[in-house]
């Protein structure tokens, strides 16, 4: 968990303005390897284990990162045979997401997180890997979440979504987290949300731009009370 990404995270419990506070036990290269994320508003806490945090509304149970031997920061790299293909996919992703400089952060959801390493190498942006498959060793922050991105409004410059995260709720949380003018790439199986402007589409995926910045008053989850503070 990169310390510069902590400010993008929000409490997943549905109350407004749920900024989180990180406590680090072990830090390596500005990444919290072991520590705790806590919400000062509702008191919830989530452990950071091997750089990964399961940030769900329910109380943390058995931690995914702790149970997955390949999830560690020093886990084996992906096979060399796939690296050229990954690099080509990452170059395409960087172009589609318009990552011409190293500013800001992008989220890679599900299978898209396989591009994390190559994308960092190509662009230097901060990469948030969400529900990454086992074996994705490198990302600045690895999150496990069950139904939405627990991120603040406009805290990302882009998001790359796989088919498993192409449902309406996932995309809505991605649109909310991406800044105005930022881009979202998703497979063609995913419906284009109405508040995005489609820029291009091929057989595999579409790329679209966030037209209007989301309102900070929109609750993160259904059932949340935007007036509650
Ligand atoms: Zn909270």
CA 17–ligand 1 middle distance (angstroms): 9
Rounded to the nearest angstrom, the distance between the alpha carbon of 14 and the centre of ligand 1 is: 7
How many angstroms is it from 7 CA to the middle of ligand 1?
14
DSSP-derived 3-state class of residue 120? helix
Token pair 């510069």 is found at 4
* Res. 78: pLDDT tops 50: no
206 C-alpha to ligand 1 centroid (Å)? 34
Domain with CATH 3.40.50.150 in the chain: 80-210
| Cα(44)–Cα(129) distance, integer angstroms | 22
Which of 203, 115, 201 has its CA nearest to residue 159? 115
Residue 187, pLDDT > 70, answer yes
pLDDT at 195: 86
Return d(Cα 67, Cα 47) in angstroms, integer. 13
Q: Tell me 191's DSSP state.
A: P
Indicate the helix (H) or strand (E) that contains 206.
strand 205-210
- pTM, two decimals, is 0.83
Query: Does residue 226 carry a pLDDT above 80?
Result: no
At residue 64 the predicted structure's pLDDT band, cuts being 50, 70 and 90, is: very low
**In this structure, are residues 153 and 216 in contact, taking their beta carbons and an 8 Å threshold?**
yes
How far, in Å, is the centroid of ligand 1 from the Cα of 16? Answer: 8
Half-sphere exposure for 210 (CA within 13 Å, toward CB): 27
Q: From the CA of 89, how far away is ligand 1's center (Å)?
A: 37
Q: How does DSSP assign 59-79, residue by residue?
A: PP-S-HHHH-GGGSTTPPPPP
List pLDDT tens digits, range 136-156. Answer: 766 788 999 998 999 999 999
Segment 154-171 shows an average pLDDT of: 96
What is the model's pLDDT at position 216?
58
Average pLDDT, integer, range 21-34: 92
Please give the pLDDT value at position 59: 57
Q: How far is the CA of 178 from the centre of ligand 1 (A)?
A: 21
* Listed residue (70, 41, 93, 57) closest to 142, CA to CA: 70
Confidence check: pLDDT of 67 > 80: no
What spacing in Å lies between the alpha carbon of 128 and ligand 1's midpoint?
A: 21
What pLDDT is attached to residue 83?
Answer: 82
Query: Cα of 55 to ligand 1 centre, how many Å?
Result: 11
CATH 3.40.50.150 fits 80-210, yes or no: yes
């Amino acid at each position: 968990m990169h310390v510069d990404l902590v400010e993008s995270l929000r409490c997943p419990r549905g109350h407004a303005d749920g900024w989180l506070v990180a406590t680090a036990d072990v830090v390596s290269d500005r990444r919290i390897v072991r520590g705790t994320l806590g919400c000062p508003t509702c008191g919830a806490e989530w452990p950071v284990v091997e750089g990964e945090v399961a940030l769900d509304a329910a109380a943390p149970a058995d931690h995914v990162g702790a149970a997955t031997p390949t999830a560690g920061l020093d886990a084996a790299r992906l096979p060399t045979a796939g690296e050229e293909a990954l690099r080509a996919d990452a170059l395409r992703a960087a172009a589609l997401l318009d990552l011409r400089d190293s500013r800001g952060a992008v989220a890679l959801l599900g299978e898209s997180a396989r591009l994390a390493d190559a994308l960092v190498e190509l662009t230097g942006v901060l990469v948030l890997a969400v529900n990454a498959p086992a074996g994705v060793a490198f990302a600045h922050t690895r999150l496990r979440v069950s139904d939405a991105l627990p991120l603040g409004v406009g805290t990302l410059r882009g998001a790359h979504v796989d088919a498993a995260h192409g449902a309406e709720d996932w995309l809505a949380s991605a649109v909310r987290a991406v800044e105005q003018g930022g881009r979202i790439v998703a497979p063609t199986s995913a419906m284009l949300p109405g508040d995005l402007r489609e820029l291009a589409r091929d057989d595999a995926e579409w790329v679209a731009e966030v037209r209007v910045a989301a309102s900070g008053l929109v609750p993160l989850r259904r059932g949340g009370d935007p007036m509650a503070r």
